[in-house]
Homo-oligomer: A and B are copies of this chain.
Amino acid sequence: MSSEERETILSGLKDQCSLVQKLREEKASKGKINEEIEKIKNLKISFDSQLKAIGVSDGSEDSTGKLILKTAKGTRDFQPAQMAVREKVLSKVIQVFKRHGAETIDTPVFERKDVLTGKYGEDSKLIYDLKDQGGEILSLRYDLTVPFARYVAMNKIMNIKRYQISKVYRRDNPSMARGRFREFYQCDLDIAGQYDPMVPDVECIKIMCEILEDLNIGNFVIKVNHRLILDGIFEVCGVDPSMFRTICSSVDKLDKSPWEEVKKEMVEEKRLDEASADKIGEFVRMSGKMELIDKLKETNLSQSKLAMEGLEHMKLLLKYAEIYGCLNRTSFDLSLARGLDYYTGIIYEAVLIDQNTDEKGELIQVGSVAGGGRYDKLVGMFDPRKRDVPCVGMSIGIERLFSIMEANMLKEKTKIRTIETEVFVTSAQKNLLEERMKLCQELWKCGIKTEHSYKKNPKMLNQLQYCEENEIPFAVIIGESELQNGTVKLRRISNREETEVPRSELTDIIKKHLSELM
């Protein structure tokens, strides 16, 4: 192909695209525009298949051929020590979920793209798409809530209380130092079903409370609010109903930005008039408990039917929270808005409070570690007959909790074991590999967690060092004389005490010692 020929192709392509643009500007018929687009598409497909036919990749690979050895941006490997912390945290979380009678499900890591479309508002741009390799168009899941709603609708489930702990994917600009990643675990519990007001809702708050208490990661407060109260506030402050959601997402920024900035966004970007913004500003600075409900009823908020309904719910929620022993952790906070569009009722968010106070003596908030709310309309979006199944749920910010636990363990110099080996079989002399193997087999048979060196003639020192480094409680030592006597030496690694025991009694003795250690 000469460079002239290529020039011709390129200019032809460019002209064709300009033509499409022009047709659009002229508002030509869709059929006409698509016809012209098809021409480019078909040519493009020819390029793809011809390149493929001659075995050439599509130019997306690094042509230097040098392999850059790293994980994808925003992702990381988990080392054994991190996995051990993670297992510990997750097992506590699952224990709480099970204490409240939840069952678990799993959904695929990717969904048909249309399942995710139109559920996340502005955040949709953060969804990972799969390459079109023929067949369906797929995307990686962005959260566990939308797949859960798809699952409920698809299986025509009327009620379920389920938890799910799985990875989700967001093409965010990750701040890995602050514990934000592109691949991360979510840890959700949701209750679907037609029930009486606030009864499942308060249990979600109770569960959040129990998890954070059981993990013992410091003081926290659970902020609660209600979408109807927020809508009522917007209503009485003169916001047009079409603006409710966008003003709501401005309010959502109050946990990171001061009111002045949020107000600026409302007035300058979203063109809300300043008087309305100021009125909103007065409301969203309020927080409290029962007494705040009464106080609000005395304001012009009482003119809003929406708000009054929300306040009744809030009253019930706080009463139930008191019965469940978590009212002291709960704060009715009008600044809480939550980002996602799909919430329809109560919303909540747990925030860790550092024990330290800042210069002004105020408590420092270190950030959200759990959140959730009621979403009564999401399942209906998947049902062919738009039949709703009301849902309320919560998500634990488990990656943040992992980081906090890791940091705490580092601070307290707690060493965490990554293996559970109970006995290490060592040999004192050479050529005892097979004898070690026989002993391992005896111990495994009795269910004792056992290892030995994979080397034929390992050094005694190395074997014992491995035991000490890995906090293996016992070493069994065999040598020629022990083999002749039918004995072994049992060494307690912690105090280096050695006793000679008859080989026939070894497994019983070890089991006895291990049960004492528990």
Q: A13-B47, A454-B195 are in contact. Are A83 and B105 (CB under 8 A)?
A: yes
Q: A6-B39, A13-B46, A419-B103 are in contact. Are A114 and B67 (CB under 8 A)?
A: yes
Residue-wise interface mask of A (484-505) relative to B, using a CB-CB cutoff of 8 A (1 in contact, 0 not):
0000000000000000000000
Residue from the list B45, B84, B101, B320 in contact with A450, Cβ < 8 A = B101
A76 to B147, CA, bound (A): 12
The residue among A54, A195, A199 with the most chain B CB atoms within 10 A of its own CB is A54
A359 interface residue per 8 A CB criterion: no
Residue from the list B75, B83, B133, B196 in contact with A455, Cβ < 8 A = B196
Q: Could you tell me if A72 and B112 are in contact, using CB atoms closer than 8 angstroms? A: yes
How many copies of this chain does the complex contain? Answer: 2
Residue of chain B at shortest CB distance from A45: B59
Q: A71-B107, A132-B58 are in contact. Are A99 and B447 (CB under 8 A)?
A: yes
Q: Which of A195-254 contact B (CB under 8 A)?
A: 195-196, 199-200, 203, 206, 210
Q: Could you tell me if B131 and A132 are in contact, using CB atoms closer than 8 angstroms? A: yes
Residues of B within 8 A of A50 (CB): 13-14, 17, 40
A135 to B197, CA, bound (A): 47
Residue of chain B at shortest CB distance from A74: B108
Residues of B within 8 A of A84 (CB): 103
A72 to B448, CA, bound (A): 43
A350 to B325, CA, bound (A): 54
What is the CB-to-nearest-CB distance from A379 to chain B, in angstroms, rounded to a whole number? 11
Residue from the list B59, B135, B195, B437 in contact with A320, Cβ < 8 A = B437
Q: Could you tell me if B454 and A110 are in contact, using CB atoms closer than 8 angstroms? A: no
Residue of chain B at shortest CB distance from A197: B456
Residue from the list B10, B46, B105 in contact with A80, Cβ < 8 A = B105
Residues of B within 8 A of A434 (CB): 320, 323
Q: A51-B44, A110-B75, A320-B437 are in contact. Are A444 and B199 (CB under 8 A)?
A: no
Q: A59-B45, A191-B454 are in contact. Are A130 and B130 (CB under 8 A)?
A: yes
Residues of B within 8 A of A13 (CB): 1, 9, 46-47, 50
A451 interface residue per 8 A CB criterion: yes
Q: Could you tell me if B132 and A105 are in contact, using CB atoms closer than 8 angstroms? A: no
Residues of B within 8 A of A358 (CB): none
Residue from the list B6, B61, B384 in contact with A114, Cβ < 8 A = B61
A430 interface residue per 8 A CB criterion: no
A464 to B210, CA, bound (A): 27
A160 to B320, CA, bound (A): 51
Residues of B within 8 A of A79 (CB): 105, 155
A206 to B210, CA, bound (A): 42
Q: Could you tell me if B437 and A323 are in contact, using CB atoms closer than 8 angstroms? A: yes
A362 interface residue per 8 A CB criterion: no
Q: Which of A8-24 contact B (CB under 8 A)?
A: 8-10, 12-17, 19-21
Residue of chain B at shortest CB distance from A181: B108
A73 interface residue per 8 A CB criterion: yes
Q: Which of A38-92 contact B (CB under 8 A)?
A: 39-48, 50-51, 53-54, 56, 58-62, 67-73, 75-80, 83-84, 87
A153 interface residue per 8 A CB criterion: yes
A27 to B12, CA, bound (A): 33
A-B contact list, 9 entries, CB within 8 Å: A1-B16, A10-B43, A13-B50, A67-B114, A76-B108, A78-B107, A100-B444, A103-B418, A324-B441
A400 interface residue per 8 A CB criterion: no
Q: Could you tell me if A37 and B56 are in contact, using CB atoms closer than 8 angstroms? A: yes
